[in-house]
Structure 1
Amino acid sequence: MANGSRQAAWEFFGAELKRRREDAGFTQVELGTRVFVSGGYIGQFEQAIRKPQLDVAQRIDSALQTDGIFERLCKKLIDDRRYADYFAQAAELEALATKICDFAPALVPGLLQTPVYARSVTLAMNPFASDEYIEDKVSGRMERQRVLNDATRPLYWVVLHEHVLRIPVGRPVEMAQQLEHVAALARERTVLVQVLPYKVGAYAVMNGTLRLMEFADAPPTAYTEAVYSGNLLDDPAVVKRATAAYDLIRAAALPPEASLALIDAAAEDFRRCESTS
């Protein structure tokens, strides 16, 4: 489903939610109380500013006695084979964010990957998949990157663990090109990049990726990801703790210029490795 038609479908979801809520005689606050979100969230769902998570859609069906219509709509809209099921909603929010902060402990984040790197990562995780499946995943990742080319692109701040610079993905020359791509985006001021070096030792988030997203008209969210699972978190207390963890990581990371120097050095190491292989 194209982005335009997907947004139109979410607008239908919102309009239908408003109609069913009003037919039931609930205010936004009253419905929000019944489904354990704020009335403001209900308003954002109705305006298609924010998309409800599946469990919220299920509670809306229960509160409004709508026989599962919102659950079915939600499942249909987040069923995009370009993205893993657990990441689809985070991908939707990514396009609406005014600021994104990523911590990557092992791999270059999707928004910064080259097609060759993305293909190598996807194939490594899906060694028996068809070429069509691999290309769908790579295409989806490249499409996401358009958000960084928009005039209204979000502020994008990335902290890479030094693992990301040292783990070879693909051939050495391809890894060098990936690191050079990250450095080029940083020098163009499309993204602010820092590296968390090995010498730091233990760090605030030890069990997976962390992403923070801020929005113009909605509360911030946090997204964490581990092995074949992801969690989109919008509880204010949890987001506050995640933000504090990110701040600790950022404080321990190298400054931007030193980070770029380390990225350049790692790319050069891969170049030399390629020439001697």
Structure 2
Amino acid sequence: MPARKSTSGHKPSARRMLASELARLREESGKSLGELADETTYDRAYLHKLEKGDRIGSPEVVRALDGVYDTGNHLSLLWELATEDAIPDKYKRFMELEKETTYRYQYSPGTVPGLLQTEAYAREVLRAGRPRSADELEEQVAARLARQEWLRQPDRPHYRVLLDEAVLCRATQNATTRQEQLDRLIHMADPPYTVIQVLPFSAGLHDLLGGTLTLLWLPNGDSVAYVESTISGDLYEDAADVERLRLSYDLLRDSALPPRESVALIQRMMEDSSTCSTRDST
């Protein structure tokens, strides 16, 4: 009998494949949702949402299900693919290029970049955006943290980050969250692989204040730029556009504190718990 073709004509999404696999595995195991909840310690209603595809879950629940079903890391791999399904096409293209990059330069005027965020900081940043259910929030936090594996690879690209001073001194709802985030930045600074520089308030106005800029250098010598605000993002691959944005970045880097002075400033701010409202501009 020939293989059954999809009536929709479209390739099923990884999210739908994950949901279908979860439902199949439970059916084959003969377990009820209640029994599965007892074995994984996750709520049965939440597990049901995973099987319906309403939620994609977190790495923790998927690892627990891999353990219950003895599927190795099969479900975890499907989960990694499923997290990419919700990403806009423009950003998917950026992520594809990101995997090939040899150098990554980034400037952030408002928040610590996702690759350097702690779990608590990421949760607060995402909670401050559009309304999300508790499940959706935790899934997005998990997806953001999963992308940080990029920085743990032995052959990781060189990563240079310019942080506006406002990023460092802005208060968080929980003071401990900010302290832990500053500590993370200090420990992540690892030249030449990860270089962190602070752009002080004294640098004044510049043309990148409107959003985050990321520059990627590819093995073939090409480079691309991604400019992102809180509501949109634009990928630039035209050489002239990228060169213009690269010049803006270079001018900012010239005004930034050297790496050692930047780390020392972060250390001081962490130790005295100073924020924008409690300290003078540098």
TM-score range (shorter-chain normalised) is: 0.5 to 0.7
Tell me the amino acid that sits aligned with residue 138 of structure 1: V
Shift of 1:84: 5.5
Partner AA of 1:227 in structure 2: T
Q: Secondary structure at the match of 1:212?
A: strand
Q: How many Å separate the matches in 2 of 1:153 and 1:130?
A: 34
Matches within 5 A, 1:70-85: 80-81=85-86, 83=87
**Does the C-alpha gap of structure 1 residues 145 and 78 become closer, same or farther in structure 2, counting only changes over 3 Å?**
closer
Equivalent in the alignment of 1:238: 241
Match of 1:130 among 118, 133, 138: 133
CA distance in 1, matches of 2:140, 2:185: 20
Contact 1:160 1:194 in 2 (8 A): yes
Query: Once the 2 structures are TM-superposed, how far is the Cα of residue 269 of structure 1 from its aligned partner?
Result: 3.0
Q: Which residue of 2 aligns with 1:117?
A: 121
Structure that is richer in helix per residue: 1
Match of 2:272 in 1: 269
Unaligned stretches of 5+ residues in structure 1:
6-75, 273-277
Look up the match of 1:91.
95
CA RMSD of aligned residues (A): 2.5
Cross-structure match for 2:219: 216
Q: Do structure 1's residue 186 and structure 2's residue 186 form an aligned pair?
A: no
Displacement after TM superposition at 1:94 (Å): 2.0
Q: Which residue of 1 aligns with 2:156?
A: 153
**1:173–1:270: 8 Å Cα contact kept in structure 2?**
no
Q: Is the 8 A contact 1:79 1:85 kept in 2?
A: no
Q: For each residue in 1:49-85, what CA deviation from the matched residue of structure 2 results, as whole angstroms up to 9, or x when unmatched?
A: xxxxxxxxxxxxxxxxxxxxxxxxxxx999622x456
* CA-CA distance at 1:96 after TM superposition: 2.1
Q: Residues 224 and 78 from structure 1, CA distance in 2 versus in 1: closer, same or farther, beyond 3 angstroms?
A: farther
Alignment-derived partner of residue 106 in structure 1: 110
User: Over residues 62-113 of structure 1, what are the superposed CA-to-partner deviations in whole Å (9 max), with x where a residue is unaligned?
Assistant: xxxxxxxxxxxxxx999622x4565333233222211100000010001100
| Alpha-carbon distance, 1:189 to partner | 5.3
- Classify the secondary structure of the residue corresponding to 1:222: strand
Structure 2 gaps of 5+ residues are: 1-12, 18-80, 276-282
Structure-2 separation of matches of 1:84 and 1:106: 22
Q: Find the residue that maps to 1:125 and give its secondary structure.
A: coil
How many residues in Structure 1 have an aligned counterpart in Structure 2?
198
- Kindly, what percent of the aligned residue pairs are identical? 36
Q: What does residue range 19-58 of structure 1 map to in structure 2 within 5 Å?
A: none
Which AA in structure 2 matches 1:96?
Answer: E
The Cα of 1:167 is off from its aligned counterpart by 1.1
1:183-206 CA distance string (max 9 Å, x none) = 101047541000000111112412
Task: Give the residue type in structure 2 aligned to 1:185.
Answer: M
Structure 1 contact 204–246 (Cα < 8 Å) conserved: no
CA distance in 2 between partners of 1:140 and 1:223 (Å)? 20
> Distance between the aligned counterparts of 1:181 and 1:268, measured in 2?
13
- Which has the larger Rg? 2
**TM-aligned CA distance change 1:187 to 1:216, over 3 Å:** closer
Equivalent pair of 1:78/1:85 in contact (CA under 8 Å)? no
What's the TM-score, normalizing by structure 2? 0.65
Residue in 2 that maps onto 1:70: none
